[in-house]
Amino acid sequence: MDDTLVQLFAEVLEVNPEELNDNSSPESVKQWDSLAAMKLVSAIEDKYNVRLSTKDIMKMSTIGRARKTLQSKKVAV
């Protein structure tokens, strides 16, 4: 799979990318705790060179919603 966003989530959450999809959320992935959420923010900001607002961060409750947020910032994911 060539989805860089899923790859990034998999790397930070330390899970197999096959286990993740756009519906994955803290409820469905047990590794996705608040520490992981913090690391995800740093990883996304590093990788896509964006800055997320607290509103953006609060909205990212699934991988799909993270994708939408990034797309709204003109990041191709």
Partner 1 sequence: MIVSEPKAVWRQYVAAQKKRETADFDMRVVIAGSMTVEPLEPFLGAHLVSKKFKPHVTIGPFNQLRQICEDHRAVLGDDFHVIALLWRLEDLFPDMLARCLSSPETVADLLTEVKLFAQSLRKLRGSFGGTLIVSTPPYPSTPDYELLDIGQASAGMTVFNSVSQLWTQEITRLERVRLFDLQALLLNVGYKQAHDSRKWLLYRQPYSESFWHDIGQMIGRMIAAEKVSPKKCVVLDLDNTLWGGIVGEDGLDGIELGDDFPGKAYRDFQRHLLYLKSKGVLLAVATKNNPEDAYEVFDKHDAMILTRKDIAAFEIHWESKVESIKRVAKKLNIGLDSLVFVDDNPKEIGEVTERLPQVFCVIVPEELAHLPGLLAQTDYFDIVEITDEDRRRTEMMAADNLRQQTQETMSEEEFRKSLNLKINVFAAQKQHLARMTQLINKTNQFTMTTIRRTQDDIEALANSKDTLVLGMDIKDKYGDYGLVGVAILRKENKSCLIDTLLMSCRVLGRGAEHTLIAKLAEAARALGCFEMRGRYIATAKNAMVKDLYKQFNFTYSPPSDEWVLSLSEAPKTPEHIEAALHLSDGAPSPCSSSETPLSIAT
Positions touching partner 1 (CB under 8 A) are: 11, 34-35, 37-39, 41-42, 45-46, 52-54, 57
CB of 74 to partner 1, least distance (A): 20
Q: Which is nearer to partner 1, 15 or 57 (by Cβ)?
A: 57
Among residues 48, 46, 38, 40, the alpha carbon closest in space to that of 15 is found at 40
Among residues 66, 50, 67, the alpha carbon closest in space to that of 58 is found at 66
Q: Helices 63-72 and 34-48, interaxial angle, to 10°?
A: 30
CB of 42 to partner 1, least distance (A): 5
CB of 41 to partner 1, least distance (A): 7
